């Protein structure tokens, strides 16, 4: 593993307070792998052998049941995914696939568990990380239960536009995946975009422009207890 990569991992809050010795032990047994787009990393139900850290690219976590499939969330750098399965030595609840070309760091699950028992600061950081994951999942559930599809899209666009600081931004993934993340079909995502046109939402391929964010906000009614101005509900695992 290159020094820049180790430094990148070391900077994330989960690993930053860890002792040097424990960090070295953890990263010594790690793998850094590059994957092309659309590669399945693991399937839900499999034993959790690794904790994954996204160094580059984006990963989709999704679930399947009865010939149906739904995206649950996406993970960007330097997010980790499948944390709970690793600490519990349980199976994965979601499958994972790369959305674009990805570089992932894979930390052996047993080493992570060992590090938790030997480094109190790491355990405290893990508590912070897991509580963040849990809160994001609660927020996603609230989003699904309290809002219609159009409202969810509106909130998502407002949040993403605000975060990008520009009136125009690129959607971070293809529309089919975005639709699934928002809990709707691709057809209904197209229709929802069309519904938001009078609210200043201009769509050109994957480029979105918010020409009237105040109008859009009046429809979306953003709520700090559901939406985030930092990467969470729809961005991190």
Asked if 205 touches DNA (CB under 7 A), the answer is yes
Q: Which of 4, 7, 66, 205 binds its own copies (CB under 8 A)?
A: 66
Asked if 231 touches DNA (CB under 7 A), the answer is no
Asked if 47 touches its own copies (CB under 8 A), the answer is no
Per-residue b or e along 84-100, where b marks 16 or more CB atoms closer than 10 Å to that residue's CB:
bbbbeeeebebbbbbbe
Q: How many CB atoms lie within 10 A of CB 34?
A: 12
8 Å CB contact between 136 and 128 = no
Asked if 188 touches DNA (CB under 7 A), the answer is yes
List phi, psi (to 5°) of 6: -60, -40
DSSP state of 200: T
* Interface stretch with its own copies, choices 8-16, 49-57, 160-168, 220-228 (CB under 8 A): 220-228
Site for DNA in 164-183 (CB under 7 A): 174-176, 183
Asked if 94 touches its own copies (CB under 8 A), the answer is yes
Strands (E), 22-89: 31-35, 40-42, 50-56, 59-65, 68-75, 80-81
90 binds, among DNA, its own copies, none (CB under 5 to 8 A by kind): its own copies
How far from chain centre, in Å, is Cα 228?
A: 13
Number of residues counted as binding DNA (CB under 7 A) = 22
Asked if 203 touches DNA (CB under 7 A), the answer is yes
Whole-number Cα distances in Å, 98 to 40, 139, 178: 7, 24, 14
Q: Which is nearer to its own copies, 10 or 142 (CB)?
A: 142
Site mask for its own copies (CB under 8 A), range 143-162, x = bound: -xxxx---------------
Terminus-to-terminus CA distance in the chain, angstroms?
Answer: 24
Site mask for DNA (CB under 7 A), range 133-152, x = bound: ---------------xxx--
Site for its own copies in 164-203 (CB under 8 A): 183
Q: How many CB atoms lie within 10 A of CB 138?
A: 13
58 binds, among DNA, its own copies, none (CB under 5 to 8 A by kind): none
Site for DNA in 15-74 (CB under 7 A): 68
Helix (H, G, I), strand (E, B) or coil at 59: strand
| Contact residues: DNA, CB under 7 A | 68, 148-150, 174-176, 183-191, 193-194, 203-206
């Amino acid at each position: 593993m290159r020094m820049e990569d180790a430094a990148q991992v070391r900077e994330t809050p989960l690993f930053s307070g860890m002792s040097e010795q424990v960090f070295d032990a953890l990263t010594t047994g790690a793998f850094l792998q590059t994957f092309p787009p659309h590669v399945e990393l693991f399937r839900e139900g499999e034993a959790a052998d690794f904790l994954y850290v996204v160094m580059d690219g984006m990963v989709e976590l999704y679930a399947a049941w009865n010939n149906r499939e739904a995206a649950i969330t996406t993970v960007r750098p330097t997010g980790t995914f499948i944390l709970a399965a690793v600490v519990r030595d349980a199976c994965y609840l979601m499958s994972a696939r790369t959305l674009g070309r990805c570089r992932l760091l894979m930390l052996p699950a047993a080493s992570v568990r060992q590090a938790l028992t030997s480094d109190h600061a790491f355990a405290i950081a893990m508590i912070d990380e897991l509580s963040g994951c849990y809160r994001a999942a609660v927020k996603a559930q609230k989003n699904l239960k309290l809002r219609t599809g159009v409202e969810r899209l509106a909130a998502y666009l407002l949040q993403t536009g605000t975060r990008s600081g520009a009136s125009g931004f690129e959607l971070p993934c293809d529309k089919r995946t975005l639709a699934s993340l928002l809990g709707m079909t691709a057809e209904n995502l197209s229709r929802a975009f069309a519904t938001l046109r009078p609210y200043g939402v201009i769509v050109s391929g994957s480029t979105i422009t918010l020409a009237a964010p105040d109008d859009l906000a009046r429809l979306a009614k953003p709520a700090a207890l559901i939406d985030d101005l930092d990467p969470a509900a729809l961005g991190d695992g």
